[in-house]
Each structure stands twice: as C-alpha cells, then as structure tokens.
Amino acid sequence: MTDPIRNLPFGSTRSRITRQYALITPDTHVATPRVHWKNASAVVHISPQMGARFTQYTAELGPAAASGPPPPGVERFVFVLSGSVQLAVEGKSRTLGPGHFAFLPADMPHEMTTGEGPSSAKLAVFEKRLEPDGTAAPQVRVGDQRDVAGDVFLGDPALRLQTLLPTEPAFDLAVNLFTYDPGGHLPQVEIHVMEHGLLMLEGSGVYRLGEDWFPVQQGDVIWMAAYCPQWFVAMGKKPARYLYYKDVSRDHTTL
C-alpha cells in the first residue's frame, strides 16, 4: 500500500538517524514555531539534541513575518531558497532574494522581515556558537552566490566549489556551494574532525555516510559528525549541487 501524499509505502522513509550521521528527507519534516519569530515556522533538521555542535533549520516566513535573534553568543548564516526578505542590520536595509546570503555575527542586532500581502520566503539557516580566536571578531557579510567564483576542486573540472565566507581566522565556520557534473565525485572518502550540515539544492546522486550508501536528491538534508566517513557521486542528467556548513579555523582541542 502506498501513502498517496508522500508516494511511499506506508510506514517507510529514506530518512536515517544515527550517532555518526543523519539523512533527513522531506517526507519526515514536522514544522515547529521558532522562539521570538513572528508568522514563521521552521523545520529543525540538525541540532545539539542529535549530537551536533550547531543547528541547521529551514525557516518558512509568511506575510508580515519577522525573525527573532539567535541566542546570545550564537552566529547565524542565512541563504535564501525562495521568496525574499528585507534584512535590517547595521543601520541598512537590503532585499535578499533567491541565492542571496548573509552572515550575522554573534550578538549583532538584526531582523529579517517580509511585507504585508502575498509575500513569503524560505530560508536555509545555520547557527553556531562563536568560538572566539582571541583576535578580530567576524564582520557582517552579505552577498549573492552568482558573484562568487567557482573554483575547480582539487584539479577536477567536474567539481566546482564556491566559498561564500572569507577564509580568515576570525570566521570559525565555512559555508560553501559544491556543484558536481553528472558522474563527478569526491576524489577520496573523506574522514575529518570537522562536522558538516548539508542541503541538496539541485540534482541527485549517491552519498556514502559511514559504512552506508544512500540515493539522495534535492531537498534532502545530511548531518555528518566529526570523523564520519563521507563520499559523493553525482548521478542523473543534470549537475548536483549542495550547500554545506563546516566548522573551520579552530584547533578542536578541549585542553
């Protein structure tokens, strides 16, 4: 028997939650209000509750919506998936549409709003507790992914990496866009101390997570804990593209 809405056999899903990784597919989403946000809801995909050291959620804003602040000491990265928001920060107001992104440093007052009437927005959000490096604090960044060059990844022109945030020690996180031509794949199974949160934006492929391999497609979210073996090959007729988070530029020690 098939669930007519989700087009899956009843009681089944591709989602898988483990201690080392999670694959979260849209059929399992359950929305929740976000504290201090107005006329908005969120699906929290990745959080400390599952063992991660950051949070990743999709926020859906309806008309007359307004964001609330992250908790004290927490930095926020926002990528607009659809619709548009007005971002007010540092005395400026900017319209952010699909493909625009913003980094809001910890404790930086800001607000994202939609207008009255038929306006809405869908945002991919990453939040992380700032680990100060003892020098400069990271600054506000606002950009458009179309203005960010794609660098060939490790000599393979089938793989292009767009680094959305400056690679400066003040930033303790990276958020990148990774595009693979069909058949393109990570050159190695990666195992590293950094964590990832990932959203498939386009296309499809197969993701290796730990000792398992999963077909993945647009809309899927993946969490990879520190040291989770990981590998990806793009499959299908068009390129695959994902947005992903990584903690960087810190020594990962707890001395």
The residue from 77, 178, 180, 245 that contacts ligand UGY (CB under 6 A) is: 178
Judged by CB under 6 A, does residue 181 bind ligand UGY?
no
178 binds, among Mn ion, ligand UGY, none (CB under 5 to 8 A by kind): ligand UGY
Does residue 230 bind ligand UGY (CB under 6 A)? yes
Nearest approach in angstroms of CB 28 to ligand UGY is: 22
Contacting range for Mn ion; rule: CB under 5 A; set: 47-55, 116-124, 185-193, 198-206: 185-193
State in Å, rounded, how far the first CA of the chain is from the last one. 55
Is residue 100 near ligand UGY by the rule CB under 6 A? Answer: no
The token pair at 177 is 């866009």
The Cα-based distances of 154 to 158, 159, 248 in angstroms read 10, 8, 18
CB 35 to Mn ion: min, Å: 31
* Residues with Cβ within 8 Å of residue 224, at least 6 apart in sequence: 20, 21, 195, 196, 198, 209, 230
Angle (CA) 124-129-145 rounded to 5° is 35
**Residue range at the interface with Mn ion (CB under 5 A); choices 76-84, 122-130, 149-157, 187-195:** 187-195
Residue nearest to Mn ion (CB): 190
Is the backbone of residue 131 left (phi > 0), alpha (psi -120 to 50) or beta? Answer: beta
CB 215 within 8 A of CB 13: no
- Give the dihedral of Cα atoms 88, 89, 93, 96; nearest 10 deg: -80
* By CB under 6 A, residue 126 contacts ligand UGY: no
Question: Which of 196, 216, 240, 241 is the binder for ligand UGY (CB under 6 A)?
Answer: 196
- Residue 246 as a binder of ligand UGY (CB under 6 A): the answer is yes
CB closer to ligand UGY out of 57 and 245: 245
190 is an interface residue for ligand UGY by CB under 6 A = yes
Cα–Cα distance, 245 to 236 (Å, whole number): 24
Residue closer to ligand UGY by CB (options 70, 205) is 205
Alpha-carbon span 99 to 79, nearest angstrom: 7
Q: Which of residues 144 and 156 has its CB atom nearest to ligand UGY in the complex?
A: 156
Closer of 37 and 227 to ligand UGY (Cβ): 227
Q: With binding defined as CB under 5 A, does residue 190 bind Mn ion?
A: yes
Compute the C-alpha angle 75/24/60, nearest 5°: 55
CB 205 within 8 A of CB 235: yes
Residues that bind ligand UGY in the complex, under the rule CB under 6 A: 178, 190, 196, 230, 244, 246
Residues that bind Mn ion in the complex, under the rule CB under 5 A: 190
